[in-house]
Amino acid sequence: MIVQKKNSPKQILRKLRSLIKPPNVMIKEISPAIKILRDVHIPTRDGSYLSANIYMPAYAGAFAAIVSLHPARKDVLCKDGYMHIQLRLARQPGQISFSNETSFEAPDPDFWAANGYAVINIDKRGFGLSPKSKEPQVYFGEEEIEDIYDAIEWAAVQPWSNGHVGLLGVSYLAINQYRVAALNPPHLKAIIPWEGVSDLYKDWFYPGGVMEVGFTPFLFSRLQTFGDGFDMGKQQRDRPTRDEWWQSFVADFEKITVPMLNCISFASQMMHTRGSQRVYERAGSAHKWLYTHRGGEWTAYYSAEVNALMLKFFDHFLKGEDNGMRQHPKVRLEIHEFGDEVKEVRYENQWPPENVVWTPFYLDGQNGILSSTPELPDATATFELANGRLQYTYIFKRDTEVVGPLKLVLYIELDGCDDANIFAGIQKFHDGKEVNFDGTYGFPNDIVTKTAQRVALRTVNETLSTPYAPEHDFAILKPLQKGEIAKMELQFEPSATYFRKGDELRLVLQGQYFISGAKINQPFTYKRNTVGTGKVHTSAQCRSELWLPIIKK
């Protein structure tokens, strides 16, 4: 387990100062050349309305519209001494700059209006100035998706509109784009879902079938104080398997046909990472691009590089400009070797890259290593699920890039219990010291990649799976019988990491999550085991193995 180091008095004082004024966050005044329309009522199909703030150039014209809808309240802005609490609590590994009319994780209206767009920032029903529904509206539910659809079609026929509309935003503002886009509103011409889960059960509430018990109750208890929110926490507790209710939130990805610029963050693992990969791989869009990074969520989103790429994308598909976007490389690949430092940025034709070779390494339970040969002695390695771990190491014989999702096959037996949550992680060591990387919400001491899997929900959906990426239904609980050895297939979160010759890759298996420490630094945590022993079998009949995506040059 990664244990957070104790802070010195100077470090504590520095953190307290950053809470008051985060050093890497710069808020600027919005330009006076931008026209602002506040609390504009957008009619909905049921006779109600949504409250929106609209920002556009002060001069007359026909502008493409950018729409976002969320529960963070459009009028809660970084001004008059207020700053979004997330920006105060989460470490920002790079400089962030946006205007004081920017809602949380929403497009900066100063940037977009200055470039000839109308930005429409909408309060979700029951939040801010949008009226309540008869019942609390389900987050990401059918009513919310229809509201966004209606807002798109309303924006397209306004006298200031050129009839073309795009969707843009981070996290929550990305998640609800998928289902809207799958409905193909006539005037929706392009989307930019920047880091967003695409399956609530698989990516967020129960990754690997393992219940998330930190961020989820915190977020939805907080949203309850914002407005008329639905109790998603109760649904999580009452629905441990991926039933029809969970499935109702998943878009038909193949029906997404509008152009798409997507983002996979290798930092936001066990949340956005795998979900972003899924929608990019399965979306039916003929024109789609992918931006990958392992930096801060908002650092990347508001950066000059990303703004320029998003502008080029929307300028082409919402304004019709012939700017070379269709010839732009499809995948931006960012590779890290040490922490926040970027080893290399290059462009690929597809994701995962076409020159990736998934290479098997076999778990040697007798010697605790990852072997390139499958001829190994029969062995059973055990660990206590409450506080134990197993480790398997590999020393690279040459400089190697590991890029993409990893796959782990385990043959596991349980003693003292019939079910368990298994956590698997990949660590990197250079010159005998662990190398840490950026994680969710700016956590600076994350590992290379990780995953989790509940043993009783191990059934693989062969139709949706690929050789390197197993997908599970999570529909039926199948506890183990005493003495039963079960085959498990786990998909690690995708990443892109450079290992030098002599560096060590370490596979770790344990019964608890890998990150501990103050919630201020890492809010995510997962249900852990309290009893029982795990036994990992390795033999000719039970070949436990790790598949690494290695770039062949």
- In this predicted structure, what is the pLDDT of residue 15? 53
Q: Which SS3 state, helix, strand or coil, does residue 20 take?
A: helix
What is the architecture, at CATH level 2, of domain 27-328? 3-Layer(aba) Sandwich (3.40)
Q: What would the DSSP string read from start to end of 196-252?
A: --S-IIIIIISGGGPPB-SHHHHHHHHHHHHBSB--HHHHHHH--S--HHHHTTS--
Nearest 5°: CA angle at 482, between 477 and 487?
55
* Residue range 436-447: mean pLDDT, rounded: 90
Q: What are the pLDDT digits (tens) for 86-116?
A: 888 888 888 999 999 999 999 999 999 999 9
Across the range 370-384, mean pLDDT stands at 95
Half-sphere exposure of 159 (CA within 13 A, CB side): 1
Looking at residue 277, its pLDDT comes to: 96
pTM of the model: 0.94
How high is the pLDDT of residue 3? 42
What pLDDT score does 4 carry? Answer: 44
pLDDT for 521 equals 63
Residue 5 has pLDDT above 80, yes or no: no
d(CA 350, CA 355): 10
Residue-wise pLDDT tens digits, 494-547 = 999 999 999 999 999 999 999 865 445 678 999 999 999 999 999 999 999 999
Predicted confidence at residue 90, as pLDDT, reads 83
Distance CA 500, CA 254 (A): 39
In this structure, whether the domain defined by 356-551 belongs to CATH 2.60.120.260 is answered with yes
225 confidence band (pLDDT: 50, 70, 90): confident
Structure tokens at 495: 């990443």
21: confidence class by pLDDT, cuts 50, 70, 90: low
3-state helix, strand, coil in the chain (%, to 5): 25, 35, 45
> How far apart, in whole angstroms, are the C-alpha atoms of residue 349 and residue 550?
17
Question: What DSSP string runs through 301-350?
Answer: HTSHHHHHHHHHHHHHHHH---SSGGGS-SEEEEEESSTT-EEEEEEESS
Determine the pLDDT at residue 22. Answer: 78
The per-residue pLDDT for range 236-272, each reduced to its tens digit, is 999 999 999 999 999 999 999 999 999 999 999 999 9
Interval 299-319 mean pLDDT: 97
332's tokens: 């931006």
How many degrees, rounded to 5, is the angle at CA 412 between CA 407 and CA 414?
Answer: 145
Q: What is the pLDDT of residue 519?
A: 42
Query: What's the confidence (pLDDT) of residue 2?
Result: 47
Domain boundaries, the chain: 27-328, 356-551
Q: Express each pLDDT in 182-210 by its tens digit.
A: 999 999 999 999 999 999 999 999 999 99
Predicted pLDDT of residue 17: 55
pLDDT of amino acid 222: 85
Amino acid 16: pLDDT: 52
Q: What is the pLDDT of residue 308?
A: 98
The rounded percent of the chain whose pLDDT value lies above 70 is 95
**Length of the chain counted residue by residue:** 553
Is residue 407 over pLDDT 60? yes
Distance between CA atoms of residues 30 and 549, nearest Å: 45
pLDDT at 6 over 70: no
Query: What does the alpha-carbon distance between residue 35 and residue 479 come to, in Å, rounded to a whole number?
Result: 61
Mean pLDDT of the chain: 94
Residue 365: its H or E element: none
pLDDT digits (tens, 9 = 90+) for 208-219: 999 999 999 989
pLDDT band at 19 (very low <50, low <70, confident <90, very high): low
Q: Using the predicted structure, report yes or no on whether residue 376 has a pLDDT greater than 80.
A: yes
What's the pLDDT score for residue 522? Answer: 74
User: What is the pLDDT averaged over residues 118-138?
Assistant: 95
Structural Rg of the chain based on CA atoms: 24
Q: Is the pLDDT of residue 1 over 50?
A: no
> Which pLDDT score, from 0 to 100, does residue 517 have?
52
Does residue 140 register a pLDDT over 90?
yes
Q: Which candidate, 150, 34, 94, 29, places its Cα nearest to that of 293?
A: 94
DSSP state of 458: -
419 pLDDT exceeds 50?
Answer: yes
Higher per-residue confidence, 363 vs 443: 363
> What is the structure's pLDDT at 8?
56
